[in-house]
Chain A
Amino acid sequence: MSKHHVTTTINGEAVEFLCETQETLLDVLRNTLNLTGSKEGCASGDCGACSVIADGTLVCSCLMLGVEAEGRSITTVEGIADGEKLHPIQQKFLEHAALQCGFCTPGFIVAAKALLDANPNPTEEEARYWLAGNLCRCTGYDKIIRAVMDAAAELRGEARAA
């Protein structure tokens, strides 16, 4: 069986890869492109650890085929920071101690980025419902929600300053 040739954009860079028909985008990211920041927690779209942003939409990369990346723009956790400069969401996760084991963290950061891109001023309840697709077993979510709300505030402040 011959592999598919896929041309896509990942974290702003043009990328080409070969994949089997049944390979998920998560498999491609992790095993072919060595972008192991996206995690497999369930492979069924229930835990959100593999969250990526595809053309502005938050998706579980375990539910998307590698071939579906053709012509799209994908953002993974590796593409959230600006070089060495952490994104405010990442910075706030550190400051608020919003991670314990850190396994769900990439998914939360990507999902939070998608949230704040879509809704820069969410209520706590909106944040909790948006992030309900991301499971965290360590923290009880409290510090994650605080970090996201604080990052939202900071991002709005930057917007005002600009």
Chain B
Amino acid sequence: MVVKSTNKYTLQRRKVVHRILEDRGDAAVVTGIGNAVHDVASANDDPKNMYLAGIMGGAAMVAFGVALAQPKRRILVITGDGELLAGIGSLATIGVEQPKNLSIIVIDNQAYGATGNQHTHTGRGVDLVGIAAASGFKKTALITTNAELEAELQHIHNQPGPYFAVVKVMSKTSPRINAPKDGTYVSRRFRAAVTGESA
């Protein structure tokens, strides 16, 4: 079945996420719910991936807590626009706290992709990059092309944050994969890999 994208953008979310993660080094990754889980897990089921497979609005703050505890490590958030909107106050909190090692990447298809592609606010005028910039994020970007993505990679991975980017992608999704679902398993695997201690 060919599903038409419900927006005008041409980047494919899975390719975007895989490209970003190619350069992750020893970064830890926290995902939002839904497609973000599958985008990240399909690149590599790294033990330093924390898949938040069942919560709306928590990914940015979970990652911020890791960033505080692990100040020498880069922490990436890969999440969707719907998930971020559900915890939009997090941007204000993170903007105030200024964690240098936190990068938030919103894969923005302007739709609730897991529930039938209903519109989110981002296709109707809400500017997440503007909110992040106004909240005090050190560097922000709107990414709509591969060239723009390439130019941002050094900021995502290496430059002092907090960093925030929205990547506009088509609303078509790729197949789901068998990412581990059990929260106790994924979290203890993550903690052991990130802290070097057995959980």
A binds B: no
A residues adjacent to B (C-beta < 8 A): none
B residues near A (Cβ < 8 Å) are: none
